[in-house]
Chains A and B, each alone.
Chain A
């Protein structure tokens, strides 16, 4: 038999005070969004005519113009090479950075902070901004693109790898120390084998990301297919722009497929 008092008992998820606080929070969120939209200048006519503009753009793009396909594909290949070389360099440079930014392997406090500083500065600056910087240093072209992507990738790979080092099982490390192994041998036998799967996963993921990033580098003159796209748009050559966009789309899909395949095979 259920207790009568229990059946008649009242239950509320929130107390009156909590409910008022929640209403207050909703109101505040609405106000912030309202304030944000009114304080930017939106030309509303342009927003309303967008559907027409889209239709117009598509009409001008169709059919895509394949006359320059050969040179587009060769620049696309250059784009792949930028991504691959940059990923390879970034992996090499990220290894020592990961080692010194993991709490359990870093030699001392100073190296820990140095490692973290490298990671944060690399990650907080977008690839395009790195590219602008390196175009100024190396001049326009693939070198600036490769270095830009490398710099951005060091932070990404270093951070994930450093976290993997921090999460290893400590027991094999203890066992290696107990055999009288020095630091480098402990790293070789107890730490590296444990982070190898993460290493491959992160390297493949970053290559996949870099493939996409290297397609926009050309917009700031740092090589790759973006330069061709920029040229086509600047000269209102929409049919060619369409071909370039389709080429980029296929590249991204192929890259996705390759990295999915590698992940399955290696890990």
Chain B
């Protein structure tokens, strides 16, 4: 269970990217976060595994306060938080198996990592997951030889290798063609159900968000202005989330957005 309260992030003296944001994700729930570019979706996700340092507020994952961790404790929290990226973020010159095993870097010793002597159980698990998403036959190929959809499958398996308590997906389908994009969404949905894993997905494609996720969170200017089941996302809500040019109507929305649409 993820509990975020009063989360604020600002860079320098600028406007906050996230301001006093609250969000709870319980059990095995697939939550999508929508909003125009610059709304703070990526920053929110990266605060959860501290790739971005929050300015203030609290983030609890299974009752563990994430924001105060450092050093070994932070790394241990990170290895329980899987992340899938828009650009896949694979290491091109390493093989698919090495990329997948990178998900275990938080668990194995530096010597095991250097010599590629991965524990047999990890190799077993890697083959099972790769088989499950259809990339097992690529194990010994270099990651840059794969297509976009296949690369993202490697990214998903790498995250699942961490045996995460939660999966964060930062626009996992934005670099993919429509058909591959749907396949990845189906995959994320079924894997989340199989592994009973809560998933948070930042996404630009609202149709996919409606079809494949249980709950939609709409963000604007670093705040949550919509939080409900997909069927409640009507034209008015869409308009509130996406309309206008961000800079010009920023002030006017800040005064009216006190009322968050809730279930």
Contacts and interface: CB of A to CB of B under 8 A. Distances in A.
Given A185-B110, A188-B110, A189-B113, A179 B94 contact: no
Given A175-B102, A180-B105, A196 B158 contact: no
A188 B113 contact: yes
Interface string B45-74: 000010100000000000000000000000
Interface in B71-97: 75-81, 83, 85, 87, 89-94
B91 A194 contact: yes
B218 interface: no
B106 A181 contact: yes
B102 A174 contact: no
Contacts of B106: 179-181
B98 interface: yes
Contacts of B94: 189, 193
Contacts of A196: 93
Given A171-B89, A188-B114, A193-B91, A180 B78 contact: yes
A189 B114 CA distance: 8
Contact of B102 (A171, A182, A184, A189): A189
Contacts of B162: 179-180
Contacts of A180: 75-80, 105-106, 162
A188 B94 CA distance: 11
A182 B70 CA distance: 12
Interface in A166-193: 171-172, 174-182, 184-186, 188-190, 193
Contacts of B75: 180-182
B51 A178 contact: yes
Contacts of B102: 175-176, 179, 181, 189
A190 B89 CA distance: 10
B103 interface: yes
A172 B91 contact: yes
B201 to A, nearest CB: 16
Nearest to B76: A180
A127 B249 CA distance: 64
A17 to B, nearest CB: 42
Interface residues of A, number: 21
Contacts of B87: 171
B81 A178 contact: yes
A194 B90 CA distance: 11
Contacts of A189: 91, 94, 98, 102, 105, 113
Contact of B89 (A175, A182, A186): A175
Contacts of B51: 174, 177-178
A182 B72 CA distance: 8
B83 to A, nearest CB: 4
A184 to B, nearest CB: 5
A196 B94 CA distance: 11
Interface in B151-180: 155, 158, 162
Contact of B78 (A171, A172, A177): A177
Contact of B93 (A177, A181, A194): A194
A180 B90 CA distance: 16
A175 B85 contact: yes
Nearest to B161: A179
Nearest to B113: A185
Given A172-B90, A182-B75, A185-B110, 16 more contacts: A175-B83, A175-B102, A175-B155, A178-B49, A178-B78, A179-B104, A180-B75, A180-B162, A181-B75, A185-B105, A186-B105, A188-B114, A189-B94, A189-B113, A193-B94, A194-B91
Interface of B: 49, 51, 75-81, 83, 85, 87, 89-94, 98, 102-106, 110, 113-114, 155, 158, 162
15 contacts: A171-B89, A172-B90, A172-B91, A175-B83, A175-B155, A176-B102, A177-B51, A179-B102, A179-B104, A181-B106, A182-B110, A185-B113, A188-B114, A189-B113, A190-B91
Please name the 5 residue pairs, one residue from A and one from B, whose CB atoms are nearest each other, closest first: A180-B106, A180-B79, A181-B105, A175-B89, A180-B78
